[in-house]
């Protein structure tokens, strides 16, 4: 019953706003054409009518566009993240329409508006270059549908607000850290920023201009994914026996392979585990389970005497 009361309330407020707008527009016209005001005040009003009408149309148009977009978001909430995409498109078209209506009060023709846009674009473009770059990049993303809410993506690029760890190299236990990238799900594509919910649970706002200059890989459900884990074992662990024991521990896991990669420093060497993520399995959860099993296998090596205490290796 709650949902039935909500919808008439939304449309009722919107219709009330339309009626108020119509009454206000009628009042502006009557003040100009009828002798309601004293003649001197009416003449001044007629003189500045185009400015009053333009400001009024901008203010009223703003509230109408915001109200309409809120109604669309509420009515299309069953579509999930796609409702935000529709909302942004409606807001863009609405603001363009409001701007055209405001310019009509100044009797701006097509050629005059083009000349004015060229001149003002040269002045404003330099000062608002980053803002305009993000705005037009947002229009491109919304128009092409290159990114949509719900897409699982991996975004890589040198301009992203993340950096690689360069020293010491052997401490990078995951190869994914070598490439500056953000992996997650697109939440919203806006006019200035795109929101991505990363696999670490962080909501990242990326400027749209950076997205156009970055490499974007869309990760589909059916796409085969690989996971790679680098794990340190002390030199006190016999390499041959340790590798055989680890292979035995992971023998029931399909597609898991183990290698000795390199010696990380004087006291450790690195074992690399690679595996294929099963279909419909989350990559981070699968990687966490493998790492947990690898740690337990390391403890098993110590209990069996294959690995001794680190002090023994130092001695």
Residue 135 domain-assigned?
A: no
Q: Are residues 13 and 104 in the same domain?
A: yes
Q: Are residues 59 and 104 in the same domain?
A: yes
Q: Are residues 246 and 297 in the same domain?
A: yes
User: pLDDT at position 315, please?
Assistant: 38
At 239-266, the pLDDT tens digits run 888 889 999 989 888 888 998 887 766 7
Residue 146 domain-assigned?
A: no
- Distance between first and last Cα of the chain: 76
Structurally, how many domains does the chain consist of?
3
Phi, psi of 47 (to 5 degrees): -65, -40
Model confidence pTM above 0.85: no
Residue 18 domain-assigned?
A: yes
Section 187-197 average pLDDT: 85
| pLDDT tier, 293 (very low <50, low <70, confident <90, very high otherwise) | very high
Residue 232 domain-assigned?
A: yes
Q: Are residues 10 and 83 in the same domain?
A: yes
Q: Is the pLDDT of residue 164 over 80?
A: no
Q: Are residues 275 and 303 in the same domain?
A: yes
Section 204-211 average pLDDT: 85
Least confident span in 16-25, 119-128, 185-194: 119-128
Q: Are residues 167 and 258 in the same domain?
A: no
Q: Are residues 47 and 98 in the same domain?
A: yes
Please tell me the distance from the alpha carbon of residue 55 to that of residue 43, in angstroms, as a whole number.
Answer: 19
Residue 193 domain-assigned?
A: yes
Residue 273 domain-assigned?
A: yes
Q: Are residues 13 and 100 in the same domain?
A: yes
Structural domain span for residue 104 = 2-108
| pLDDT tier, 6 (very low <50, low <70, confident <90, very high otherwise) | very low
Residue 159 domain-assigned?
A: yes
CA distances from 308 to 9, 43, 204, 241 (A): 73, 99, 44, 13
Last residue of a domain, one of 108, 143, 169: 108
Q: Are residues 157 and 90 in the same domain?
A: no
Last residue of a domain, one of 74, 108, 142: 108
Q: Are residues 6 and 104 in the same domain?
A: yes
* Nearest residue to 297 via CA among 240, 236, 248, 229: 248
Residues facing 226 on adjacent strands = 276
- Domain of residue 284, CATH code: 3.30.70
Q: Is the pLDDT of residue 116 over 70?
A: no
Q: Are residues 176 and 263 in the same domain?
A: no
* Sign of CA pseudo-dihedral 242, 246, 251, 254: negative
> To the nearest 5 percent, what fractions of the chain are helix, strand and coil?
55, 15, 25
Last residue of a domain, one of 89, 108, 127: 108
Q: Are residues 207 and 234 in the same domain?
A: no
Look up tokens 């003002």; give the residue: 120
248 or 183: which carries more pLDDT confidence? 248
Look up tokens 């009628």; give the residue: 26
Q: Please state, rounded to an integer, the average pLDDT across all residues of the chain.
A: 75
Report for 28-37, 155-164, 282-291: range of highest mean pLDDT: 282-291
Residue 134 domain-assigned?
A: no
* Nearest residue to 246 via CA among 265, 270, 271: 271
Please tell me the distance from the alpha carbon of residue 51 to that of residue 58, in angstroms, as a whole number.
Answer: 11
């Amino acid at each position: 019953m709650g949902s039935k009361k909500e919808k008439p309330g939304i449309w009722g407020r919107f219709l009330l706003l339309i009626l108020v707008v119509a009454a206000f527009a009628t009042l502006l016209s009557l003040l100009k054409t009828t002798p309601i005001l004293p003649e001197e005040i009416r003449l001044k009003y007629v003189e500045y009518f185009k400015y009053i009408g333009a400001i009024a149309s901008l203010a009223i148009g703003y509230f109408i566009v915001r109200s309409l977009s809120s109604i669309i978001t509420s009515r299309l909430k069953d579509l999930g993240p796609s409702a935000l995409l529709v909302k942004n498109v409606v807001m863009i078209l609405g603001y363009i329409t409001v701007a055209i209506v405001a310019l009509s009060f100044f009797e701006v023709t097509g050629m005059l508006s083009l000349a004015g846009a060229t001149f003002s674009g040269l002045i404003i473009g330099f000062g608002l270059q980053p803002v305009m770059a993000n705005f037009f990049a947002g229009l491109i993303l919304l128009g092409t549908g290159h990114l949509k809410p719900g897409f699982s993506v991996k975004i890589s690029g040198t301009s992203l607000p993340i950096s690689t760890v360069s020293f010491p190299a052997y401490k990078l236990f995951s190869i994914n850290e070598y490439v500056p990238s953000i992996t997650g799900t697109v939440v919203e594509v806006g006019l200035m920023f795109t929101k991505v919910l990363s696999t670490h649970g962080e909501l990242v706002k990326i400027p749209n201009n950076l997205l156009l200059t970055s490499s974007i890989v869309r990760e589909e459900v059916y796409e085969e994914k690989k996971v790679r884990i680098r794990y340190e074992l002390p030199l006190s662990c016999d390499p041959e026996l340790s590798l055989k024991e680890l292979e035995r521990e992971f023998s029931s896991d399909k597609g898991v392979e183990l290698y000795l990669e390199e010696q990380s420093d004087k006291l450790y060497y690195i074992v690399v585990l690679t595996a294929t993520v099963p279909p419909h399995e989350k990559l981070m959860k699968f990687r966490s389970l493998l790492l947990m099993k690898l740690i337990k296998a390391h403890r098993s090596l110590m209990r069996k005497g294959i690995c001794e205490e680190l002090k023994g290796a130092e001695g």
